[in-house]
Amino acid sequence: MTPPAARRGRVLVVDDEDAVRRSMTEILEDEGYEVIPAASGEEGVEQALAGSPDAVFLDVWLPGVDGIEALRMMRERGVRAPVVMISGHGTIETAVKATKRGAYDFVEKPLSLERVLLVLRNALRHARLERQHRALQVELRREAEFIGRGAAVEALRARLAGAADGRPALLWGERGTGRSLAARWLSLHGPRPDGPFLDLRAGTVPPERLLRALYGGDGAGPDDAGRIALADEGTLYIEGAEALPPAVQLSLAEGLRTGSFPVPGAAHGVRSEPGLIVSLSGPPGGVAAARLEPAFLEAFPHRIELPRLSARAEDLPELAEVFLQEVAREYGQPAPTLALDALHALARHAWPGNVRELRRLAERIVLALPPAVVHAEDLPREFLEGRETGPAAPTAPSELEAQWLRRLLDEVGGDVARAAPRLGLSEPDLRAHLAALGLPS
């Protein structure tokens, strides 16, 4: 049974020959496609904009606006459907040129039923994969965003945006601050967002395996390629670069300069052009610098510090809420919310594990099957024993509470009665809190 036309797709056929349009219409409708015929380049462009076709067959030789010009106009006006050029005698070379300008493929006159249907199926499959790829890119960009609106994270976003030019970047910060997230952000917002992204934790790879991981094995097959080769036209991220041997550091510096990475201890190199991002656990001018070659450090024009979570106290409520929702969704449970006393307990914590520690706390809370509103007494013991040793938080609890309440009230349209249950408070108690903080109640 032939599938409905709406399921097979809508095809625009642009050709000035009535016989060709009729023939194409019969072929495609018999296969279950909906066909939109157009007799000129001008009409074809109009139909492409109005009819939202899934694919276009476009004759090269048309009176007035020819096929090449119509293709240009469609692309300039946002038509993303794959375009298949129809070439007659003497126009094949032009059709080939059109594929270099954005056409998907071409078919020759006299038209072959098998060829037309094969090219159409391939074009629709290609368009579907492109849509999926675009959706994946959007999702990856969303997942690579830093959560929060505080001054520290806004400054970080500005520094990352300034470094998204494809040149080598050096990130540094404590574990759990989001170094790999920053590397992914730079990759997705740089000049090679569609390229491969490969990572390597240098400190976890034994020295005897590190060279193979980076430069590959002795064979010529794809399974023998190392990360440097595989990241060509993409991004290579190396975490814990202070663990790299000096010879590897110098090789990376040389490869960034020349496009050929000498293999330490060998007479050959690996040709590749990856965007290189590395991270350190401390500042490049600190203890880590003693283990880094000057030529290696000089290869990185961009150097970005990732702030501790203790310097992002104003982001704690939003981060905690997002993590609780994500973990609850992962385990198929309703997401709990944090009461004000729980928020105060989090604000007093030093967060030695940074954002990663907060994420793990969210998992512990959800897996403990908490009440709908989590109070301080529901938190693990270490969050109830006073502040851990660590840097002082720049945001006072009262200021943090005010920021959290403003955000919550914005979400509920200023309705105090709706906000109170989410905080484990009665409406009168919440109004008293708001008044004490100088907020409208």
- Could you read off the pLDDT of 50-60 as tens digits, one per residue? 989 999 999 99
Which part of the chain is CATH 1.10.8.60? 311-436
Smallest CA-to-CA distance from 349 within 398, 395, 390 is with: 390
Superfamily in which the 146-307 domain is placed by CATH? P-loop containing nucleotide triphosphate hydrolases (3.40.50.300)
Look at residue 388 in the predicted model and tell me its pLDDT. Answer: 46
Residue in 368, 375, 365, 380 with CA at minimum distance from that of residue 339: 375
Query: Which parts of the chain have pLDDT scores under 70?
Result: 1-7, 89-91, 137, 140-141, 218-223, 287-289, 385-397
Going by C-alpha positions, the residue among 293, 298, 226 that lies closest to residue 263 is 226
Which of 319, 325, 317, 400 is closest to 355 using CA atoms?
319
> Where in the chain are all domains bearing CATH 3.40.50.2300?
5-136
Instruction: Give me the architecture of the 5-136 domain, per CATH.
Output: 3-Layer(aba) Sandwich (3.40)
From 1.10.540.10, 1.20.80.10, 2.60.40.420, 1.10.8.60, which CATH number describes the 311-436 domain? 1.10.8.60
Every domain of the chain with CATH number 3.40.50.300 lies at 146-307
Q: Specify the pLDDT at position 235.
A: 96
E strand or H helix at 106, and its extent?
strand 105-108
pLDDT of res. 231: 95
Long-range pairs of 202-205 with CB within 8 A, sequence gap ≥ 24: 202/238, 202/239, 202/240, 202/241, 202/242, 202/243, 202/244, 203/239, 203/240, 203/242, 203/243, 204/240
Order across the sheet with 275-280: list the strands: 197-201, 235-239, 275-280, 169-172, 302-305
In this predicted structure, what is the pLDDT of residue 1?
Answer: 42
pTM: 0.70
